[in-house]
Each structure stands twice: as C-alpha cells, then as structure tokens.
Amino acid sequence: MKLILLGAPGAGKGSQATKIVEDFGIAHISTGDALRANIKAETELGKYAKSFIDKGQLVPDEVVVKIVADRIQQEDCKNGFLLDGFPRTVAQADALARLTDIDYVIDIEVDFSVIQARITGRRMCVCGETYHVSTYKSDVCAKCGKKLYQRDDDNEETVANRLDVYRKQTEPLIAYYAAQKKLVSVDGNRSIDDVYASIKDVLHGNR
C-alpha cells in the first residue's frame, strides 16, 4: 500500500502517520528525515542539499525527488510506504508519478481557525513532552517539572504565513489527486481517534 498524507501544518498528520504505519506495517517516509539522513551520511545528494541549506535557500525539487526515489527503493518500503511532507507542489507530484503509483491520497481537512488555535496554544518542554493551553493545569511539565515554553515559530504571524504558503503551494494537490480519483478527504476537526477511525475505514475498503 502506497499512501500520501496531505493536510495543512497543524492538521495532525504526524499523529495519524504513526498509527497508520504501525497498523499497516508500511514505512513512514518524512522527506525532512530522509534529507537529514543524507546530510549526516555525507552522501553526494546530502552534500549538494546542504550547500543550499547553508545559504538559507530551499533545496531544489530535483534533489528532493532524488532523495525520495532512493528512499522508496529501500528494504523497509517493500510492503508499501506513507509519504508525509511530499509532494508539496504539483511539480513534485508529477515527478513522483514518474517514479511510482500511489493507491490513496488522504487529505486531513481542518479549519484554519482551528489550526491557528492548536499551534499558537501549543507549549513544549525540554524533555520532549507537548501540552496545550486549553488542557494543561500548570505551566510546568507534569513529567519532569521544567517550565513549559512556546516555540518561536508557534506565534500567530508565523503560523499565518505557514498556512498561506500551504494554501498557495500545496492545496492545488487536492484538485490534482481528486481528478485522478485517488483523493479521500477526512474531517480533521475531530479527536485523533475519530479521525483515525475514518482513515482506517478508507484503507480497509469500507468507504
């Protein structure tokens, strides 16, 4: 099974990806992770990508596509994979189509106002725990007792910019995959478990 997970930043893709790969025994491919692995291993692609990152520039599509092409050939992808964070543009989707066929594209739909509240209300701890202002009882971590903090990029202005980029660059993929009859949209305004129940129905062919 070969899947793509779509959704705006803060839509809950990470939580759903974890559940999908565990239940269906497929590889979770994060282009960010694959890129960092190439850089750490000092592969030719990694060195080339790093030359752009060091200048504060975006890694070109052709580099990202080559990294994905290499990643999906690895042993853990033999039963399928879930792409998270790729493709981001129609051009990348066209390149992916030349590499492999995709079974389903799952779009987690969440109102942008809900996403704003989710991300700007998020609080982190140095130990890795994550909280939200709507549910936590104290501004210290229940696990280690350290004071919680807000990430620099979780402020309203940055979140609004990220959503604007998503709207312009990635939302066109919804129409792209709908035209191929591969797109399935699920309501992401619900709880993590309810969203996953809908995704499981799709993947088990019950919808």
* Catalytic site residue from 19, 36, 162, 190: 162
* Contact (CB, 8 A) for 21 and 82: yes
Q: Does residue 88 have an active-site annotation?
A: yes
Mean pLDDT score, 147-156: 90
* Catalytic site residue from 88, 182, 190, 200: 88
pTM of the model: 0.83
Specify the number of domains making up the chain.
Answer: 1
Task: Tell me, yes or no, whether 149 lies in a domain.
Answer: no
Task: Tell me, yes or no, whether 17 lies in a domain.
Answer: yes
Mapped onto helix, strand or coil, the DSSP state of residue 7 is coil
What is the residue range of 173's domain?
Answer: 2-26+79-111+159-203
**Per-residue pLDDT tens digits for 95-129:** 999 999 999 999 999 999 999 999 999 999 999 89
Q: Does residue 122 have an active-site annotation?
A: yes
For position 207, what pLDDT does the model report? 55
For position 162, what pLDDT does the model report? 87
* Confidence check: pLDDT of 203 > 60: yes
Task: Tell me, yes or no, whether 187 lies in a domain.
Answer: yes
* Catalytic site residue from 19, 50, 122, 182: 122
* Confidence check: pLDDT of 206 > 70: no
The sheet with strand 104-109 has its strands ordered as 27-30, 81-84, 2-6, 104-109, 183-187
For position 53, what pLDDT does the model report? 86
